[in-house]
Structure 1
Amino acid sequence: MFIKTGDKVRVMRGKDAGKEGTVTKILKDKDRVVVEGVNMIKKHVKPSTTNPNGGVVDTEAAIHVSNVMLLDPESGKPTRVGKDDKHARVAKKSGAAIDK
């Protein structure tokens, strides 16, 4: 998978197309990512010690990795990811290294 936690991505398909956010979690076995502020769902939770009232909570759901594109660190536009001799991940549009 070419996307890692902390990457800036843009959603390209689905109900949240055009939204941008940071990847907070990766589910490798299902090829999905959780993006901050994208694909919000309502989840019914039971009362617990952390949430004594329970109720309906807004939370982020996972989105398939094929529906997001990494943002170019120089231009801020969506780009594909390549590889070169010095860096593991490189933006195809500008050639800028994505790795920190």
Structure 2
Amino acid sequence: MPDTLSEQLVNFRGGDLNALYDVDGRFAHLKPNDVAVVHFGHKDDRFIQITHRYRLSGEDMLRGQPQLAWPVSQQIGREPTFDDMIDVLEVRDCYKHQWEGRR
């Protein structure tokens, strides 16, 4: 996970960051109900649970949900294009005691 995204997830718990966007397969291993631990610097870890996962074409996103262009570009490091296939992973906060109980 890029440092800027890790920093946002750790620093803005419960904020507007409720989805991860992937165009290069870096989150391919995550599926619904998985819990991911996000580390950044000396801050407390943040636990997020994947609640939904789906794929959206860049064309559908840019035409039907243009408000997503900015958060997607921030996470993928470039402007999304019509040709992109964007994996959307919706996330929610998850707490350590919830995660540890699931192992």
How high is the TM-score relative to the length of structure 2? 0.27
The answer to which structure, 1 or 2, has the higher relative contact order (CA under 8 A, 6+ apart) is 2
More helix by share: 2
More strand by share: 1
How high is the TM-score relative to the length of structure 1? 0.28
